[in-house]
Amino acid sequence: AHLDAIGRLNTALNAYITVLPEQDVLASADAADARYAAGTAGLMDGLPIGVKDLFCTKGVRTTAASKMLENFVPPYESTVTANLLNAGAVFLGKTNLDEFAMGSANMSSAFGPTTNPWTRKGDESTALVPGGSSGGSSAAVAAGLALAATGTDTGGSIRQPAAYCGIVGLKPTYGRCSRWGTIAFASSLDQAGPMTRSVADAGLMLEAMAGFDAKDSTSSNRPVPEFHKAVGKSVKGLRVGIPTEYRAPGLPADVVAMWEQGIAWLKAAGCEVVDVSLPHTRHGLTTYYIIAPAECSSNLARYDGIRFGLRKDAPTLDGVYEATRASGFGQEVRNRILMGTYVLSAGYYDAYYLKAQKVRTLIKRDFEQAFENVDVLLTPTAPSAAFAQGENMDDPVQMYLNDIFTVPASMAGVPALSVPVGLNGVGLPLGLQVIGKHFDEETVLSIGGALE
Ligand code: GLN
């Protein structure tokens, strides 16, 4: 059924960059059937999923939606996808994304944009963005081209596209899922997570993805709880914080209304809702857009035309570097590398990068202090519903503003879930974000279940 849906809809949506050959998909499904019959089924046995094209998959082209890796076929499997295969999941293909996961609209892919399956009521001909960077995954799950998909989130790339496409997206605690074999963007922020139709599915899939990995030095050795059991648990008596700083002036009325609705639902479920303060919130976005590009400029230095990926020949070594990088990277990736090398350069390191690291610590402390009094925080996931393709394209700052509610949890490394909670006046989905304490995905999932 999912392969049929891909056949019918992928040309229009462009959710997949690579679809696996039908006989391979059916063979994995048959193998899952056999395990089921033998009573040895894994946690995700036979479940057909999409894989963001940022996870290296052995023998399957992995592009990061970049010309730089257009023909890269990894000889190894990322830990997260290996864990999913071990749990019995069936891979359908590799989903589209912003180039190297840099973006909020899926407009920067070298393989063309992904289109959101949702449209505005009364304006069905305007194509909307699915959000980004995991926009191929969110569109695929929303339109039935996969039962679930993997995403990665550096500053919102699981949560914001989940909100824009009306699905569930969970960014786990930093260190919960191994980063090994996932193409790096900003290593101190990157985290893999599930994108699903329900909160229970997100718990189940995280359980399969997570776990200690000796190959990632930042991977946590905490045991992986039975996350799916957290969904449906009573949330009575839990304390929910509403960060006052997130009540940004200019926040659209439909987003505010949805937030109030979520608060009312949680109160009705027996939660105690209180205001909290995260005073450094207003520095979140600027700090993120220093640290993430700095780390990206360092991580992307490896694409030099020599070691792997695209190579453009030139008479000198510097010439090879220049020609390769000029033709391999798109505009947004180049912008980020330039910003990153600038803030790391000798004269500016202290003024920008070092200062941003200090502010990051303050943001982290904000969360620690808030979590002394509450179990979770509730905020909107994004400041708007999905916008039109082409909108916000001439103004990077406007595009970066989309991440205003998602970057703080990334900077602090805490888990955060986006749950679809309803439609706005023109019929587009809106999401609410539940942020939790370090390694407390279980409470986040319980609250998410109560909002569903
Ligand atoms: N939109 C943010 C950015 O462009 C976040 C991307 C992400 O989480 N990978 O950096």
Band of pLDDT at residue 275, cut at 50, 70 and 90 = very high
Which are the contacts of 379, defined by CB distance < 8 A and separation ≥ 6? 242, 243, 246, 259, 405, 432, 433, 435
Which residue would you say has higher pLDDT here, 396 or 234? 234
Q: What is the pLDDT of residues 317-358, one digit of tens each?
A: 999 999 999 999 999 999 999 999 999 999 999 999 999 999
Average pLDDT over residues 80-102: 98
133 catalytic residue (yes or no)? yes
For residue 148, give the amino acid letter: A
Burial 308-336 (b: 16+ CB within 10 A, else e): ebbbeeeeeeeebbebbbeebbbebbeeb
pLDDT of residue 186: 98
Any ligand 1 atom below 6 A from CB of 102: yes
Angle at CA of residue 368, ends 379 and 287, nearest 5°: 70
Crossing angle between the packed helical segments 79-86 and 199-209, to the nearest 10 degrees: 110
Task: Enter the tokens of residue 366.
Answer: 């904000």
pLDDT of residue 435: 98
Any ligand 1 atom below 6 A from CB of 406: no
CB of 134 closer than 8 Å to CB of 158: yes
Per-residue DSSP letters for 409-432? HHHHT--EEEEEEEE-TTS-EEEE
Band of pLDDT at residue 170, cut at 50, 70 and 90 = very high
Ligand 1, pocket-test mutation among 52, 66, 104, 159, most atoms within 8 A of CB: 104
In the predicted model, is pLDDT for residue 400 greater than 90?
no
In the predicted model, is pLDDT for residue 42 greater than 80?
yes
Measured CA to CA, the distance from residue 238 to residue 258 in angstroms comes to 20
CB of 405 closer than 8 Å to CB of 380: yes
Task: Enter the tokens of residue 234.
Answer: 């009573």
The CA 65 to ligand 1 mean position distance, Å, reads: 14
The CA 296 to ligand 1 mean position distance, Å, reads: 11
CATH number for the segment(s) 2-230: 3.90.1300.10
Length of the chain: 452
pLDDT of residue 368: 98
Q: Which residues pair with 150 in a beta bridge?
A: 194
Q: Is 283 helix (H, G, I), strand (E, B) or coil?
A: helix
Per-residue DSSP letters for 62-91? --TTSGGGTT---SS--HHHHHHHHTT-EE
pLDDT of residue 319: 97
Any ligand 1 atom below 6 A from CB of 292: yes
Q: What is the pLDDT of residues 148-167, one digit of tens each?
A: 999 999 999 999 999 999 99
Measured CA to CA, the distance from residue 254 to residue 261 in angstroms comes to 10
Give the active site residue among 78, 133, 138, 220: 133
Domain boundaries, the chain: 2-230
In the predicted model, is pLDDT for residue 308 greater than 80?
no
Average pLDDT over residues 128-143: 98
Q: What is the pLDDT of residues 417-432, one digit of tens each?
A: 999 999 999 999 999 9
- Please give the mean pLDDT across all residues of the chain: 96
Position in ligand 1 atom list of the atom nearest CA 403: 1
Ligand 1, pocket-test mutation among 133, 170, 188, 406, most atoms within 8 A of CB: 133
Average pLDDT over residues 45-74: 97
